[in-house]
Structure 1
Amino acid sequence: MVRIAAASAHFGRDLEFDLQRVAKLIGDARAAGAALLVLPDATLGGYLADLRHPDPDALPPALDPGDPVFKRMAGLAGEMVVCAGYCEADGADRYNAAVCLTGDGVLGRHRKVHLPAGEITAYAPGDRFDAFDTPVGRVGMLIDYDKTFPESARSLALDGAEILACLSAWPTSITNRAPRMTQDRQSRLFDLYDRARAAENQVVLASSNQTGAMGGMRFLGQAKVVGPGGEILARTWSKAGLAVAEVDVPTEIARARRVLNHLAELRPGSYR
């Protein structure tokens, strides 16, 4: 059995403040017995303040993969597996990226592949989906809009991922915001994608998200842990906090695949 925690929390441009919040969330997750903590997209430095017309002079701080901040985060993580989002610098390019680490160092990284309109002006796209081994099992990471595309999660499942860590800075609708967050189109889609990606690949999914506001955007929260049948095992709704669930990952995956094994029954020759 493993306890998995997914966080709803707000992060901004102040890296020291962000690290203090990371330390608090890691402490809360440790107190809850979690072995895996999935923090939101843009944990270090916050997300874009305007998704339609990003200000090039007000972007999140771009961090080199070797930046000392990751060593500090690893020290906070200790024995826990922690996934967190940040803006990655690579020469003149910037990527919306995620890192997964423990106190022993980095286990895996991901650069967001699917960039929505607006974000494409601030970031370069990644080009691959790779799962990696961790003390809690084989993990694959997705960054918000990535999970809109079934191929993203399927690629990780085919690479052996047992747990999908979905890190988001997912706002309410920018063009047609509903008066209540629960009625917002993006709220419905966020939950739908989380449950569908878990169920269609028969894996466990931990979905984190930002809360609060950045510029003109209001973030949904709605962190959750989803089982391989698409059932929500724990959730935060729109509030900040941790969704924590205890899961026997191999057993639950085997149970979900006992009769209908989606990955084994794929017919790639029939797909375009």
Structure 2
Amino acid sequence: MLPVRVCTAERPGDDGCSEDRVFARPNAVVVLDGVSPLRPEGPRDGWYPDALGQRILDLLDSDPSADLPDVLATAIDHVSAKHSLVPGESPASTVAIIRWDDYHIDGLVLGDSPIVVFSRDGSVDVLRDGRHETVVAELRREARQTTEGLNTLDDLIRATRPAKLARMNRDGGYWIAEATPEAGHHAILRRWPVDSIHAVAAMTDGVSCGVEDYGVPPSWPAALTLALSDGLQALLAAIHDAEATDKDRQRWPRPKTHDDKAAAIIVFPHEHQAWADEQ
């Protein structure tokens, strides 16, 4: 097995109680962004991404070359059965899985937690699942056209929530890990030859929004450079600090000032650099 370097970091959002999780194994990383619960409203505690992430790791430990959609579907089924979860009324989570061996790197994403691949030639490949974003944009556009009094983003979120839940884990909607095992087989997959890759990162949208929405850092290569030079926690801090300059959420409209943040970076040995591990 390649002697890769792995760094992980987490930072909670506004309330100090994060539902983002990151898990690492010698040949795999799993990043999850939990939503707990979807309906009814209740306390945030992150038990679902904890349970789902651990079950994914158990399955990968028992069969390191297992089909990743099968692994995810089985993990969702196990957690749903164990906790008697009901579709549409249960906690949910995005999932990003990176797995590697001496020849290939496999990536899986379900929901809006992307994987960013940095090639040795300087190119960047982003593996993302844009279905949730597409559904949200469509519903908000329709709501603005048909409903009066939607003056803020919070108003839009509340107004479109029932319609969004109705399209969860449905063809033509979006897929996420919740209480429907079939969702695992609707994940987005990609494979890369390991000898062409410098580094791979997986992250929740609380991190990816730094580059994609705020321009902090201004590009994916700049984000990687910061993480490798100053540590992955420094990348999360830079994004957090940018959000702190927009506490009223006017410059960058978003549901809350600080989202939860979790990320992992894997650096492959043919491009070794000295950098600090952070857990």
Q: Above 0.5 in TM-score?
A: no
Point out the structure with the larger strand share: 1
Rg larger for: 2
- Larger % of helix: which? 2
Ranked by relative contact order (alpha carbons within 8 Å, sequence separation 6 or more), the top structure is 2
